[in-house]
Amino acid sequence: MINKLISNIQKTNAPIVVGLDPMMKFIPEHITKRAFEEKGETLEGAAEAIWQYNKAIVDAVYDLIPAVKPQIAMYEQFGIPGLVAFKKTVDYCKEKDLVVIGDIKRGDIGSTSAAYAVGHLGKVTVGSKNYYGFDEDFVTVNPYLGTDGVKPFVDVCKEEKKGIFVLVKTSNPSSGEFQDRVTDNRPLYELVGEKVAEWGSEAMGDAYSYVGAVVGATYPEMGKVLRQIMPKTYILVPGYGAQGGKGKDLVHFFNEDGLGAIVNSSRGIIAAYQNDLYKERFTPENFADASRQAVLDMKEDIASALAAR
Amino acid sequence: MINKLISNIQKTNAPIVVGLDPMMKFIPEHITKRAFEEKGETLEGAAEAIWQYNKAIVDAVYDLIPAVKPQIAMYEQFGIPGLVAFKKTVDYCKEKDLVVIGDIKRGDIGSTSAAYAVGHLGKVTVGSKNYYGFDEDFVTVNPYLGTDGVKPFVDVCKEEKKGIFVLVKTSNPSSGEFQDRVTDNRPLYELVGEKVAEWGSEAMGDAYSYVGAVVGATYPEMGKVLRQIMPKTYILVPGYGAQGGKGKDLVHFFNEDGLGAIVNSSRGIIAAYQNDLYKERFTPENFADASRQAVLDMKEDIASALAAR
């Protein structure tokens, strides 16, 4: 799947992933209204609105981008109906030939991590049959529990030729509280980065590993160091746009080959029509066109930053 | 909810939580067979088997214990039908007046952590209405992302009078890889423990905080130190039984008042009928009676260890 991700990136010439993190306040009223009319002001109604909103955005941008990253929390908050909308979104994006990165940040020990891995990337056995539960292409994984917690994911990745992105240095303001702690003369995130490279070395695609890393756009200098520590690791970079990361901050996350990183933007794309930049040109009715324009602009921003380095 | 947990512990005189972590290999054949006859060898069939298995165990032990801890990964691996069984289990246990600790180990940043918190502990707004998604009483939380990731859970806990247990030192063999790293002359898990005490200080129940900690039974010496660092923090202790922790290892996790810790056992209880200790006395048909006996034995083991200290 890392090979497919890279080939999708090369085809679209866009190292971009669109974060499908729907919040009710992003969804235009005409969609919510119709969904509530159909299913009531219920969890099912909310899930229907989310699904219609996602579908319109995906339809508007799928030819421009290699991948999407639905954030499962935004669906899970609506209970079972929300998770049904998550699954529908995953399936629909795969039909559109997009690589789907499930942003699930799971992580546990041994058989429990194996259960998450099976449920999101692999197949589970029921009697004499096998079934895929959620069937994303990649998922994000939390490393706090150490190798025991990550290895079961790597095993499933090898079996299914899928991938993971392990949290190394997250984009949020307080990520340094634990991740930046100095141990043996270097910050913890570097140690996690080394482990990511080690776990990944036994699960290689053609040029990059099945085991990627998450490093926030908001910490470009740390990204530079981590790029060197993990040369064969694809880096998923959140924090662009709404969180403050800019195109020029991103160049350090890429390798010389122009590959090695994929930059996420969520609300900057999916709620573009609410943004001052696009508000005058787009109405809530053509929110998906605003999303398309935001993708084009992001692509341009990153391309010119990479060209200027 | 921390007050209710403590009152349940005092009522049952059992600082015990039963981990409802069903695996297909634990479920007796007569249950699986019936479920498959009804729903086929499908995800729905597996979910039905899990639900019937859980229900029988809960019916057999609910009067002896204060709380249960369903591990969501074991349900999530069966996709949506699995999560429906999770929700049914949560609801049923609450009907039986058990405190339900959702072992979900979620953790993200800002609005995303808020979405998890709302989905599992709080209520989500849909139009003019509010709904509870999964509605557990407590959940487990991963601290790797720092205060940003944990605070949204604490906020919902305050609003709903519910609680969390933050991973501090996990029970697995490789938990030390990152958690034991020395920084400023002490291991990272102590620093996390201090933060837990700090986060908890602003969300206090009568005697203990809404913010608890997870510390593995397999590391009793570390438990002793953490007990002192977090005097008002309830400690959820996994790793008893199948993972190797014994009654005498547990005494350090408790305060002088006999409170402050709740010990989890999962397969040691729910799959007791497969254990050499019980195999001769119990058949797969009366697996739930074996679970009841295992609860009584665990209660005795902990009580005598506490009496001997």
- Tell which of A71, A123, A126 to mutate to test the B interface (max B CBs under 10 Å): A126
Closest to A183 (Cβ–Cβ): which among B41, B79, B183? Answer: B183
For residue B245, pLDDT over 80 is answered with no
Q: Does B41 touch chain A (CB under 8 A)?
A: yes
Convert the pLDDT of each residue in B8-26 to its tens digit: 999 999 999 999 999 999 9
Residue B100 forms beta bridges with which residues?
B68
Q: Do residues B178 and A153 lie in contact, with contact meaning Cβ atoms separated by under 8 Å?
A: no
Portion of chain A with pLDDT greater than 90, in percent: 94
Q: Which residue of B has its CA nearest to A113?
A: B73
Portion of chain B with pLDDT greater than 90, in percent: 94
How many angstroms separate the most distant Cα atoms in chain B? 60
Query: Which whole number is the average pLDDT over B215-221?
Result: 94
In angstroms, the separation between the Cα of residue B305 and the nearest Cα of chain A is 27
- Tell which of B34, B77, B215 to mutate to test the A interface (max A CBs under 10 Å): B77
For residue A178, pLDDT over 90 is answered with yes
pLDDT on residue B308: 87
In this prediction, residue A241 has a pLDDT band, given cuts at 50, 70 and 90, of confident
Convert the pLDDT of each residue in B159-182 to its tens digit: 999 999 999 999 999 999 999 999
End-to-end CA distance of chain A: 29
Tell me if B77 and A119 make a contact (CB, 8 A cut-off): yes
Q: Does B132 touch chain A (CB under 8 A)?
A: yes
Tell me whether 0.95 is exceeded by the ipTM.
Answer: yes
For residue B85, pLDDT over 80 is answered with yes
Nearest to B71 by CA among A126, A113, A174, A65: A113
Choice among A138-142, A305-309, B47-51, B133-137 with the minimum mean pLDDT? A305-309
Determine which one of A105, A151, A246, A248 is catalytic: A105
Convert the pLDDT of each residue in A192-209 to its tens digit: 999 999 999 999 999 999
pLDDT on residue A198: 98
Determine which one of B39, B55, B105, B161 is catalytic: B105
In this prediction, residue A309 has a pLDDT band, given cuts at 50, 70 and 90, of confident
Is B11 catalytic? The answer is no
pLDDT on residue B182: 96
Tell me if B78 and A126 make a contact (CB, 8 A cut-off): yes
Tell me if B172 and A74 make a contact (CB, 8 A cut-off): no
Closest to B145 (Cβ–Cβ): which among A71, A116, A175? Answer: A175
pLDDT on residue A144: 97
Q: Rounded to two decimals, what is the model's pTM?
A: 0.97
pLDDT on residue A197: 98
Number of other residues whose CB lies within 10 A of the CB of residue A100: 24
Nearest to B216 by CA among B146, B265, B256, B258: B265
In this prediction, residue B241 has a pLDDT band, given cuts at 50, 70 and 90, of confident
pLDDT on residue A170: 96
For residue A65, pLDDT over 90 is answered with yes
Query: Which whole number is the average pLDDT over A82-95?
Result: 98
For residue A243, pLDDT over 80 is answered with no
Q: Do residues B211 and B172 lie in contact, with contact meaning Cβ atoms separated by under 8 Å?
A: no
Closest to A107 (Cβ–Cβ): which among B105, B132, B149? Answer: B105
Q: How far apart are CA A66 and CA A73, in angstroms?
A: 22
For residue B128, pLDDT over 90 is answered with yes
Convert the pLDDT of each residue in B19-58 to its tens digit: 999 999 999 999 999 999 999 999 999 999 999 999 999 9
Q: How far apart are CA A178 and CA A29, in angstroms?
A: 41
Q: Do residues A82 and A50 lie in contact, with contact meaning Cβ atoms separated by under 8 Å?
A: yes
Choice among A71-75, A239-243, B211-215 with the minimum mean pLDDT? A239-243
Query: Which whole number is the average pLDDT over B67-76?
Result: 98
Tell me if A124 and B171 make a contact (CB, 8 A cut-off): no
Tell me if B105 and A108 make a contact (CB, 8 A cut-off): yes
pLDDT on residue B246: 77
Q: Cα–chain-centroid distance for residue A167? A: 11
Q: How far apart are CA A7 and CA A185, in angstroms?
A: 38
Closest to A178 (Cβ–Cβ): which among B21, B176, B188? Answer: B188
For residue B243, pLDDT over 90 is answered with no
Residue A84 forms beta bridges with which residues?
none
Query: What contacts A188, CB < 8 A, 6 or more positions away?
Result: A178, A179, A180, A181, A182, B178, B181, B183, B188
Using an 8 Å CB-CB cutoff, list chain B residues near A87: 79-80
Map residue B182 onto helix, strand or coil.
strand
Q: How far apart are CA B126 and CA A44, in angstroms?
A: 10
Q: Which residue of B has its CA nearest to A103?
A: B108
For residue B248, pLDDT over 90 is answered with no
For residue B76, pLDDT over 90 is answered with yes
pLDDT on residue A248: 82
Using an 8 Å CB-CB cutoff, list chain A residues near B188: 178, 181, 183, 188
Query: Which whole number is the average pLDDT over A112-137?
Result: 98
**Backbone phi and psi for residue A204, each to the nearest 5 degrees, phi listed first:** -95, 135
pLDDT on residue A246: 77
Closest to A112 (Cβ–Cβ): which among B43, B73, B176? Answer: B73
